[in-house]
Amino acid sequence: MQAPIQDIEINYDLQGPSGAPVLTCSHCLSGDLDIWKPQVEALSEDFQVLRLDLRGHGRTSAPEGGYTMDMLAGDTLALLDHLSISRTHFLGISLGGMIGQTLALKSPERLHSLILSDTTCRVPPEMEPVWRERIAAAREKGMEALAEETLDRWLSPSFRAQDEMTTERIRRTILNTPVNGFIGCCMAISAFDVKDRLPEVSLPAMILVGEHDPGTPVSTAKEIQEQIPGAELAVLPGAYHLSNIEAAGAFNRRVRDFLHTASRA
């Protein structure tokens, strides 16, 4: 479904029983709403699961220019307004987790709870050259230049060998990401730093991370947990960056249990 929001059209999907609590799911850089397929299947009996393609991704508009994290968070709020959703639980992975932290600081009254997966609370200055290189590669050679190295970070070799169909689906998602959207979101990520503000978050919060995530490792998840008062931490054995896919069973159990507890709070 398409929603005209501010300067773009946002592609979204909403599944689950009318009147049930809403869980909004926000995907990673170079992903799309289909990243959340395992969670829709597991959670849509008890929750309305709202998935959206972020600005510059999937079937959402991809305007040129740099994006900001406030802009991406604002897109989410505008979609919630469009759908008359006053409050939601929020689940974000990687870039989606950065958006979730921004929302928790910017508009905490719109959230019931916060679930952050395989993400960070700050991008250190020494990572700036890495983001410049990725932007240059995408601009000069397209997403084909980034697909394999991205898969290497996202999924373990054993998972890629065992589930070639899912691996190929994710590869196609990376390749189909608009270059404008990739570059715009890279700019938002490279400037992200909310570490010192996270103690302000007063929502129920849980942080999930793949045991072997090479991009946002367990130490990064612990840094977030230490900053958010009362936050839970779950390390998912064997998983890389896309722990919601590689360790879907354990991921879904953790999320379901957390959501039921947070919904009763």
Question: In the prediction, which pLDDT does 264 show?
Answer: 76
Task: Tell me the CATH number at 182.
Answer: 3.40.50.1820
Q: Residue 263's pLDDT is what?
A: 82
The pLDDT value given to residue 265: 66
205: its two tokens: 């919060």
Which residues constitute the domain of residue 6?
2-264
| Helix or strand holding residue 234 (H, E) | strand 232-236
Alpha-carbon gap, residue 235 to 169, rounded angstroms = 25
- The torsion region of residue 87 among left (phi > 0), alpha (psi -120 to 50) and beta comes to beta
Give the integer Cα–Cα distance in Å for 176 and 79: 23
Sign of CA dihedral 17, 23, 26, 27: negative
How many CA atoms within 13 Å lie on the side-chain side of 197? 13
pTM of the model: 0.97
**Residue pLDDT tens, the chain, 265 long:** 999 998 999 999 999 999 999 999 999 999 999 999 999 999 999 999 999 999 999 999 999 999 999 999 999 999 999 999 999 999 999 999 999 999 999 999 999 999 999 999 999 999 999 999 999 999 999 999 999 999 999 999 999 999 999 999 999 999 999 999 999 999 999 999 999 999 999 999 999 999 999 999 999 999 999 999 999 999 999 999 999 999 999 999 999 999 999 987 6
Helix (H) or strand (E) holding 172: helix 164-176
With contact defined as beta carbons under 8 Å apart, do 11 and 60 qualify? yes
Q: Which CA distances in Å does 64 have to 38, 61, 67, 137, 174? A: 32, 10, 9, 16, 18
Count of domains for the chain: 1
Query: How far is it, in rounded angstroms, from Cα 97 to Cα 190?
Result: 14
